Structure 1
Amino acid sequence: MMLNHSIVSSQQKIAEKLTILNDRGIGMLTRISNIKKACVDKDPASKPAFLLEKGLEQTFKQIVKRFPNFEKGSLNQYNNLGQFKNDILKSLSLYYHTFVDLLDFKDHVNDLLTTIDACQIHFDISINYDLSKNYLDLITTYVSLMILLSKVDDRKTVLGLYTIAHEMINGQGDPSFPRLGQMIVDYEMPMKKLAEDFVPHSKLIYECLQSLVPIYKQKNVTAEEMRRNLMLNLSACPNLMLQPPFTDTINCDILSFDQIERWVVLTTPLCIGYMQHQECLEMFRSVLLNGHVHVLYRDDTILTHEFLLKFLELVKNSSAKKLAEIVKDTQLASFQNARYIHREKRQFLRSALREMSLLFTDQPGLLGPKALYLFMGLSMARDEIHWLLRHQYLHWFDPTKPNKLTKGMAKEDWMDKSLPELLFLIEELRTLARKYFQVIERYYVEYLSGADSCSLNLHMEQVLNVLPEDEAILLSSFHSTVSALNVKQIENNESINLRPLRLDWFRFQTYTSVIRPTFCLTKSSALAKTMNTISFHSKLVDFIDEVLFETSDLSLFCFYPNLFFENFHICFEYPSQLRYSIAFPLMCSHFMSCTHELCPEERQFIGRKSIDFASKVIDDMARETKDIIAQICDRHCELNLQLEPMQSLPFLLDHLKKKHRKDNKKQSQQQQNNLVKPGSESMRLNREEMNFLDKMNMALAEWCFALNYTHSITIWEFTFFPKEYLYTKLEIQKCFVEVNEKNEKIRVYLRPTEMLNIIESYMKIMLTIENYVHIDITKAFNNVLGQQSQLIDSNGNSTLTRHYCDLYIDKLLRNIERNHVIYLPSQKSFLSAGKSDQSHPDQIQHENYINYNELSALCEIIGVVGSKYMIEQVNGLIYENLIKLKAIVSQNKEILQSLRINFDRPDMMRELYKRLENVDLALVSLLNIGIYLAFKSLLTECLHEVLEKRLPYLMLSAEEFSKNFNDQKFELLINEMSASCGFQTNIDTGLYQIIKTPNSKTCPEDEYTVSCLMMVLLAVSISRLSKYDSSQYKAELQAHANNSHCIAMAINTLAGCLFYDMGAECQRNVQCRLTEFLALASSALLKLAHDSESSNSSSGQNGPLSQKDQLNRDSVYIILDQIVQSSPFLSYDLLESCFPYALLRTSYRQILKKNSAAVNSSGVSNLTNLLIND
């Protein structure tokens, strides 16, 4: 007793020691937890290399067996550790000194607890809240540390290795090792040792627990009781909406219920001898019924019932037996019923927090008077989430779960499909509290300086006379501090620091909670409750972030990664939870709050983990949104395809079949039901019925709400922008290319009009995203379509330009001759005229791809740049055939020179012509050039129309410029500009540049000669076309069957490119060469007529030629007319001087007469037949 009176509580600095030791205890828990995980981790990279040496396994077993007694003489048997001693000392130093720090922490805690016992401090959490809470926190932290210490697997190996290596290097062991080793041995069974150590302190611990009973009863209520009592209901009494709540236990109202249960579970075994009070036993029973997993630290938990039973079986007294019976009675009930109780609580909290969020969003001013309700709701929701996490992990992932008790429980029993909503509401309320913190700050500055100051003054006058001098000074300073607060401090942005006030109040509690005759705080409960209220209000002025951390920290998810993603994926399964998915990346910003300065090495790891979690979640959200957009776009594309003309064929056939099946009405009705008309998806009986697009649009709106909820999320030192994730994930160009590639794999090539419909459908859907998310979709499309006009995109992938270049060049143009395709100038289309080889894998109907509409759509898709690429590839094909022509010219060079000189000598011409080689090949190359030029001309015309539609003013300016600027020096540049705009020019600039590319093998004079001889070869070879029936001119098609009508374009274009040269005489040079060509071709054709008549006479037939031969000859004559008609360099006067125009008129008349007779005899035109066959 003399010792107790000699200790003065005000001199022991109990408040300061409790604060420091509690903080240090959390740091020690962090370090021990990390060591425990490092020892358990099976990853070799996380352990020192020597611990994995198989040769040292026997040594490790010996160390564990002899621990902690390592005599100097016995160290010789550890000589094999000599080569690793430096590595051991270096690698295990952190582990060893952590255990040494734990030993030091243990000593300080024991000293402080002894001092508190000696001071005879009285604990009551409703009165000296800070003192009681910190006392219970210190004890539970200490108990958790010792339990965690006993769970570190390799603790003896680590400590033994370190002390042996230390003795090998320094000649003696570490001085701390004997006590440290003894502590490790003593706490092999931690609860038994702790119960023995805490016998002197058990009375005070029990006193603390007893003070928790009314608080626990107040918090341990079911969801139904909460509803009945209107808990967290702000709108229950509208007339009291602006009035703050009045409560005597304001700090206890936001105290974590989870923390109270942890106090009860971990401190009850330390005061078993005093556990006689029925209310305490009922509280203990309720805690055990409320759950079967309780936390030590973070994700280190205990199976409460097994843990307590294991300890209580070692204690032999009546109180222990009574507690053991309670544990056994509640074990099965907890496993079976607790989840339903907490499920109902979470359901209630969701509705309460939702209403609270709506009210605070609409009226932020209510955050002032109703701030307590905000933090109460956050605290209760946080506790329920922590409870669910611990129990989910036990039943889903923990291999140590008790199978007998969990038998028959499915995974779904522990799943909360509405958990994302609860998490979202917590985040939303936290955001509101931070956003309007000035509202809260201003309100409580006024409240402290007004109502709280007056209340404190009233109670202070009653006790000031009986207080010792030091306590009286503290109490007076409380009043002066709160009275001095002023709103102007906030308006002037002055920092308000009320931490000294709260620390002084903590000191005041330690000074006055001692039983003394003059003044005891427990007997002045009114003053204590007023000061507790002032302490809480002061936190809302300068410490609101800390209050939010205490009531709504969700960093526990950091240590349950599997549960984090399991609960996140609930959003994918339940559409009602989609919009709340943003809560998960927001929650990652909590993770750094669980770090501690005593464990700095953990900060980097948790920081990277939080960033990885957030990045993956936002990435998944953006990817899912992108997939939904793709599905909507695909569906719209399908609906657009239903409106294609070809889709009407089944309905036409059905209509025709109905006329022949009037007998079988049932079958006809059944077939009609199988046909789905476009637009039928919009027909419904009521709006509640949701079709596929309705569901997808709803999901899209929900995902977009989530991604657009916050502009940015700051985690550690990084900032995430969810909308940017979506923007990068859209990858519209990839969608288009994937659609094309998907069809190409099944040998189905999307026509440009179909692809344009797809792009327009995508664009319409994408533009609707702007209604949900602030993203510039137009900019995205401009960027995407700009990249699609190139051969590769920014990622090096193929584009639509590449795909369509391959389709048109390799699969269409190169196969025109084999597939019997005719170019129809009148219809601006290519037509498959013969029976094509359908067995060929690349067989395509040309008329479906090469017509004015399709090429216009193609120019819309690939734009000017893409069209330029395609034209360049066509020019490449033309140049290939030109090279073949030049090779044939070189082969017949001497003969062609003679033909050029002797064009006026028919007999000589006849003999020389017979000596020419590969004339047919030359004609094939010429026809190919003509076909390619026809395609290029059609593509250029379509490009011109598209540009006129898009850029009418720019096109008008370009047209005026090209017409009125006549400087010959810049003619090629003007032609190039005009060609890029789709204007027809006299000289094909692109082809000219390819042909005129300098060639080191030949000189310009030789090139010119070869070009002249090529025109001679082509001129004398045209007459050969009359030998082929395919050369017949089809009047109804306005084309030759073998595309001979394309020769006119080929001749004029080649002449312009081959003989054009800079200078004033350039046009005259081209005209001279074409005149020479015309003279030679006319001579050959006139000779053809003469030879035909001579051949007919020599065969003994005095009549006219056969109709077939006549038709072939007349068809070839027409080519001359087409050459002159399409040439800018030739005139009909020139043609009349070489070839009688009367012969041309006769040819046209004969061809029309023949085609008219054919039409009258068959009753249907060849073109119609072709279309029908197609």
Structure 2
Amino acid sequence: MSLPSVYQNKFAEKLTILNERGRGVLVRIYNIKKTCSDPKTRPSFLCDKAMEPSIKFINKKFPNLDVRSSTQHLGPVHKDKGDIVRALAPYYYSFVDVLEFRDHVYELLNTIDANQCFFDIHVNYDFTKSYLDLIVTYVSLVLLLARTEDRRVLIGMYHCAHEMSHGASDSSFARLGQMVLEYDHPLKKLTEEFGPHSKAVTSALLSLHFLFARRNQGSEQWRSDQLLSLLSTAGTMLSPASSDTMACEYLSLEVMERWILMGFLVCPGALGASPQCLELWRLALQGSLYVTLLRDEALQIHKVTEELLSSLKGYGKRVADLKECKEHAVAHSGSLHRGRRAYLRGAVRELEALLEDQPGLLGPKALFVFMALSFCRDEVSWLLRHAEHVTKTKTPEDFADNHIAEILFLMEQLRSLVRRQVGVLRRYHVQYLARFDALVLSEIIQNLSVCPEEESIILSSFVSSLSSLSDKGVDDKEQFDFTPLRLDWFRLQAYTSVAKAVLPLSTNPDVGRIMNLIVFHTKLLDSLEELLAEVSDLSDLCFFPRPLEKMFVATMEEPSMLRYSIAFPLLCNHFSHCVHPMCPEEHPQLQATALGLCNKFLEEMARQACVCIMDACAEQHNLSERLLPKHCASTVSKARNKKTLKHPSKKGEPERGKPGAESQRKDRSVTTNMDKLHLTLAELSLSLNHVPNFTVFEHTVTPAEYLSSHLEARFTKAIVAMACYSPATQEVARPSEVLVGLGAYITFIQSLTHFVGLDTARIIRSVLLQQTQPRDASGEQTLTTIYTNWYLEALLRQASTGAIVLAPALQAFTTVPREGEPSFSAAEFSDVSEMRALAELIGPYGMKFLSDNLMWHVSSQVAELKKLVNENMDTLVQLRSSSCKPEQMAALLPRLTSADNVLKRMTIIGEILSFRAMAQQGLREVFSHHCPFLMGPIECLTDVVTPDTDIQMAHPRRRTTRWPACCWSLWPCPCPCWPLTRRPSTTPRWMATTTTSTAWPRPSSTCQPRSSPSTIRTSRPT
């Protein structure tokens, strides 16, 4: 074949375009298969019962569908023909794309055979790889097409509707129907198709023999070779890592397995042609049980190959070899890959730590990074694929790995390191290309015995392009673009790989080796992201949600792996690479899957971290509770008995340890519960704090915010739980005890800033502010509601019955002891310290809510008194007019009714007002403690200013208020003060009247003072 015709074949361009096109068509067929297999997304016509006769008829007669003579069977199709054409057109033309792709592949493979092309993965890497990729893509497409069960119905129904609408069938239908029939038994048809191409396919696969045998080693061999170790040869640490087969070093082992197994699957005759072919085939069969077609579609390679070879004559020995390899794979492949993963964890951890400490080594040792990423990706992919499909095995531990998170995490670390140190890579390899690669290539060109003009021009342009590189381009942040150079090299491989090439690459392998090295170095300059995606893209894991979730659960159950758990949410960042331009309709579903998985992972991590935080807070609460004064009685009693030599009774309550005894360690190996909680929290915090944020399908995800929201919700519940409120028994914890526990919680939560980047101050302010309102953000009751209800329902109710009386000297309510009743000390809930604690807990807004409830009940009692006065109005008027007539007074007094009721209600009013005064005094003392420099001048003014010149503040409903606006605004709350006159939402049973409750307004988002300074005025009281 003449040289110009070789140039006109355009092998490089066709292979590039067809591989990309084939991938898109493959994704479309995959999408059709998944869409039609799901009842939720299946086309409505296929689910319509009225269409069932038509569907059965189309399946039976396909592709010989005579629309005109079959109107009785196709009536429903004729009725909805317009909708069917519109709905099924994307499906139909996807199958037409398969037909066109097959035609182009046939043409290209025949042309390559006619030119007797030379294939060697070590020399013409791009040409060989693209050729094998095209074969595998085509075989996968045919097998996936055969798995699409509704292909006949989709094509046939569209054809019928199209002919009914346009009067003629589509021009592609006849060939398309024939293709579908031929591929009902795809492997048999494929072996017939690839018979003429067996020689070319075999030569390409044989070039993998040495490479695959070298790469497909066990962990013992890797360990003896010190694979990926920079420290094993410390003396050559600064020497550039290079190889004659540069791109082959990071070529995916999974990809090579797929090439070999699918190549020999369609060319089984090659197995008997060469012992090397048989050895290569057997070696590939022993490594895996399933081979990927696309995403989660896998091929059970041993079963499929056995069925094919059994149907062919003369392959009895190959079937025996196949069964032997299958037994070996079932018995040993799991342990083989488990050993590899164990080795990679240690080796990649060492590599990442060394490069993180000395990023300058990334220049000469960049190859090691891409090798490590490729090896890790292969092992992760193998594990996910087999964990999904292998259901029954004697060694299930081989298909589950609790430590897979570490490998995923190390992969993300290496990717991040490469992106951060891109300047190091560029500066090093710009110099490498200009000062080494260009010189070596120039020398090789000069030593060529013959070099045609076209090839000479291309090679010379390579040398000139590389020689012109300098460090200045890196300093100026110049955007490099070597795509034309790589495409020219691809073209040159095609020109020089034909049988009658003037410059045959087979006899000049040095050109191929140095150019493969140059291509790798240029990719480090301008295509770093594409290179990272090639060796470490894990986007296909999006289609293995169940195995992925199981691995995440196993990771969360392994304490040593908690710090690596962030790798699973970060993995969702890869899933956007699944979207192909030829199938944009997948985008919403893939986005939902990725965001759903990411959200699930982060929610679980935040939940566990929050549980750990709350447990640690509870431990601190218990420790602080042991310091309460009520627990000192036992200590004092014990000390007193010691002095009097009295031995305490052994039947009492168990002896309490002294506070602080938990800090005494006799054995450092003994760990307490608090130690375990701190360790777990530290591990989870490392994970959540690993990255501030990352992107999943254009959504920015912030891991720490998940913990923040969980912590806020659980902290709110914990505060309410500390009150120990029981509506049935009317029991509640003392405010001072709750305040001590709250202080312990707050102290520990504030210490979280040492672990994770949380705004703990915002969380604490938000939660405590909610406790000052009747309801929190989720609508649940708060401390304000609990203590308001309890003081009204329990304390003041007993005061109304005389069980509790006010003790002004004690500034508290005290219980009147009675026999036969359980002891209850009202002073423990109403003394000065408790009122202060209550004010600290519920704040000024909560105290105002309590005060408003109290005053509303006072007003209700006054209203009842008015009723009593109205009932006795005549008698009272007579008493008023007879105040100087004792005899008439004595006669009128018995006519007054409900005198005891009046006295009781007056007593209730007095008790409520006394309790309100005590609560207000507690609030005043808290204010004085929190803002003494503000309260001092105000109290001084109140002492100096006479009542005639009292300062009053204007208000929409009330002209005076108890506190200036500045006092209220000092409390840490972003909400405005609530209206001063509101009827409370709760009413005690013992004071209930026929009234309707009024809903309380929710606070707004900004805090406004009750009145501005301009509204303060001096006025005389009327």
Give TM-score scaled by structure 2 length: 0.90
Counterpart for residue 932 of structure 2: 952
1:815 and 2:810 correspond: no
Report 1:1072-1087 matches (<5 A). none
Contact 2:724 2:732 (C-alpha < 8 Å) held by counterparts = no
Counterpart for residue 313 of structure 2: 316
Distance 2:343 2:207 in 1: 28
Contact 2:36 2:43 (C-alpha < 8 Å) held by counterparts = no
CA deviations 1:276-295 (Å, max 9, x no partner) are 43333222222111110110
Over 3 Å counting, the alpha-carbon distance change for 1:771 and 1:720 in structure 2 is: same
CA deviations 1:1116-1139 (Å, max 9, x no partner) are xxxxxxxxxxxxxxxxxxxxxxxx
Contact 1:456 1:527 (C-alpha < 8 Å) held by counterparts = yes
SS in 1 for 2:800: coil
Contact 1:637 1:761 (C-alpha < 8 Å) held by counterparts = yes
SS in 2 for 1:791: coil
Distance 2:912 2:67 in 1: 98
Superposition deviation, residue 704 in structure 1: 1.4
Counterpart for residue 568 of structure 1: 552
Contact 1:7 1:119 (C-alpha < 8 Å) held by counterparts = no
Counterpart for residue 377 of structure 1: 372
Superposition deviation, residue 741 in structure 1: 7.4
Counterpart for residue 702 of structure 2: 721
Distance 1:994 1:604 in 2: 52
Distance 2:891 2:213 in 1: 123
Deviates more, 1:700-709 or 1:115-124: 700-709
Distance 1:75 1:38 in 2: 29
Distance 1:756 1:714 in 2: 42
Distance 2:895 2:1019 in 1: 38
Contact 1:940 1:979 (C-alpha < 8 Å) held by counterparts = no
Structure number with larger C-alpha Rg: 1
Counterpart for residue 972 of structure 2: none
Counterpart for residue 60 of structure 1: 55
Distance 2:884 2:637 in 1: 64
Counterpart for residue 456 of structure 2: 472
Over 3 Å counting, the alpha-carbon distance change for 1:154 and 1:819 in structure 2 is: farther
Deviates more, 1:17-26 or 1:266-275: 266-275
Counterpart for residue 351 of structure 1: 346
Contact 2:377 2:536 (C-alpha < 8 Å) held by counterparts = yes
CA deviations 1:835-871 (Å, max 9, x no partner) are 38858xxx96423322222211110111112111111
CA deviations 1:911-968 (Å, max 9, x no partner) are 4444433222221112112211221121112112111111110111211232334473
Superposition deviation, residue 645 in structure 1: 4.0
1:282 counterpart letter in structure 2: E
Contact 2:302 2:326 (C-alpha < 8 Å) held by counterparts = yes
Counterpart for residue 750 of structure 2: 767
SS in 2 for 1:295: strand
Counterpart for residue 643 of structure 1: 627
Distance 1:279 1:624 in 2: 54
Counterpart for residue 606 of structure 2: 622
Distance 1:703 1:18 in 2: 48
Deviates more, 1:963-972 or 1:256-265: 963-972
Counterpart pick for 1:510 among 491, 494, 511:
494
Contact 2:57 2:73 (C-alpha < 8 Å) held by counterparts = no
Contact 1:232 1:377 (C-alpha < 8 Å) held by counterparts = yes
Higher helix share: 1
Unaligned runs of 5+ in 2: 954-958, 969-976, 984-1017
2:457 counterpart letter in structure 1: I
1:753 and 2:748 correspond: no
CA deviations 1:550-587 (Å, max 9, x no partner) are 01111111101112221122232111111111111111
Counterpart for residue 739 of structure 1: 721
Superposition deviation, residue 142 in structure 1: 0.3
Report 1:437-452 matches (<5 A). 437-452=422-437
Counterpart pick for 2:295 among 284, 288, 298:
298
Superposition deviation, residue 106 in structure 1: 0.2
Distance 2:264 2:724 in 1: 68
Superposition deviation, residue 676 in structure 1: 5.1
Superposition deviation, residue 651 in structure 1: 7.0
Counterpart for residue 670 of structure 2: 689
1:538 and 2:522 correspond: yes
1:76 and 2:71 correspond: yes
Counterpart pick for 1:793 among 776, 792, 795:
776
Counterpart for residue 1011 of structure 2: none
Superposition deviation, residue 79 in structure 1: 3.1
Distance 1:300 1:332 in 2: 23
Distance 2:466 2:2 in 1: 35
1:417 and 2:402 correspond: yes
SS in 1 for 2:74: helix
Contact 1:831 1:846 (C-alpha < 8 Å) held by counterparts = yes
Superposition deviation, residue 366 in structure 1: 1.6
Distance 2:700 2:675 in 1: 34
Counterpart pick for 2:447 among 459, 462, 465:
462
Give the alignment's Cα RMSD to 1 decimal.
Answer: 2.8
Counterpart for residue 699 of structure 1: 680
Superposition deviation, residue 255 in structure 1: 0.3
Over 3 Å counting, the alpha-carbon distance change for 1:124 and 1:443 in structure 2 is: same
Distance 1:362 1:539 in 2: 25
SS in 1 for 2:733: coil
Superposition deviation, residue 620 in structure 1: 2.3
Over 3 Å counting, the alpha-carbon distance change for 1:201 and 1:745 in structure 2 is: farther
Distance 1:941 1:736 in 2: 28
SS in 2 for 1:705: helix
Superposition deviation, residue 671 in structure 1: 6.8
Unaligned runs of 5+ in 1: 397-405, 984-989, 997-1061, 1067-1174
Distance 2:625 2:207 in 1: 75
Counterpart for residue 337 of structure 1: 332
1:547 and 2:531 correspond: yes
Report 1:77-156 matches (<5 A). 77-80=72-75, 81-156=77-152
Give TM-score scaled by structure 1 length: 0.79
Over 3 Å counting, the alpha-carbon distance change for 1:964 and 1:677 in structure 2 is: closer
CA deviations 1:94-125 (Å, max 9, x no partner) are 11111111000000001001111111110000
Contact 1:943 1:982 (C-alpha < 8 Å) held by counterparts = no
Counterpart pick for 2:909 among 929, 953, 975:
929
Counterpart pick for 1:360 among 331, 334, 355:
355
Counterpart for residue 16 of structure 1: 13
Counterpart for residue 833 of structure 1: 816
SS in 2 for 1:121: coil
Counterpart for residue 1108 of structure 1: none
Over 3 Å counting, the alpha-carbon distance change for 1:87 and 1:994 in structure 2 is: closer
Superposition deviation, residue 60 in structure 1: 1.9
Distance 1:971 1:612 in 2: 60
Over 3 Å counting, the alpha-carbon distance change for 1:804 and 1:995 in structure 2 is: closer
Deviates more, 1:436-445 or 1:27-36: 436-445
Distance 1:590 1:671 in 2: 64
Superposition deviation, residue 131 in structure 1: 0.3
Distance 1:679 1:591 in 2: 52
Distance 1:255 1:368 in 2: 20
Distance 1:967 1:644 in 2: 44
Counterpart for residue 877 of structure 1: 857
Deviates more, 1:454-463 or 1:63-72: 63-72
1:31 and 2:28 correspond: yes
Counterpart for residue 1000 of structure 2: none
SS in 2 for 1:433: helix
Over 3 Å counting, the alpha-carbon distance change for 1:821 and 1:32 in structure 2 is: same
Deviates more, 1:19-28 or 1:618-627: 618-627
Superposition deviation, residue 677 in structure 1: 5.0
Superposition deviation, residue 615 in structure 1: 2.3
Counterpart for residue 1010 of structure 2: none
Contact 2:952 2:1019 (C-alpha < 8 Å) held by counterparts = no
Counterpart for residue 597 of structure 2: 613
Counterpart for residue 1039 of structure 1: none
Counterpart for residue 265 of structure 1: 261
Superposition deviation, residue 126 in structure 1: 0.2
CA deviations 1:607-650 (Å, max 9, x no partner) are 23222222222222222222221222122223333333444667
SS in 2 for 1:826: coil
Superposition deviation, residue 680 in structure 1: 4.5
Superposition deviation, residue 141 in structure 1: 0.3
1:863 and 2:843 correspond: yes
Counterpart pick for 1:325 among 283, 295, 320:
320
Contact 1:123 1:208 (C-alpha < 8 Å) held by counterparts = yes
Superposition deviation, residue 414 in structure 1: 1.8
SS in 2 for 1:156: helix
Superposition deviation, residue 379 in structure 1: 0.3
1:881 counterpart letter in structure 2: Q
Counterpart for residue 276 of structure 2: 279
Identical columns (%): 36
Deviates more, 1:685-694 or 1:293-302: 685-694
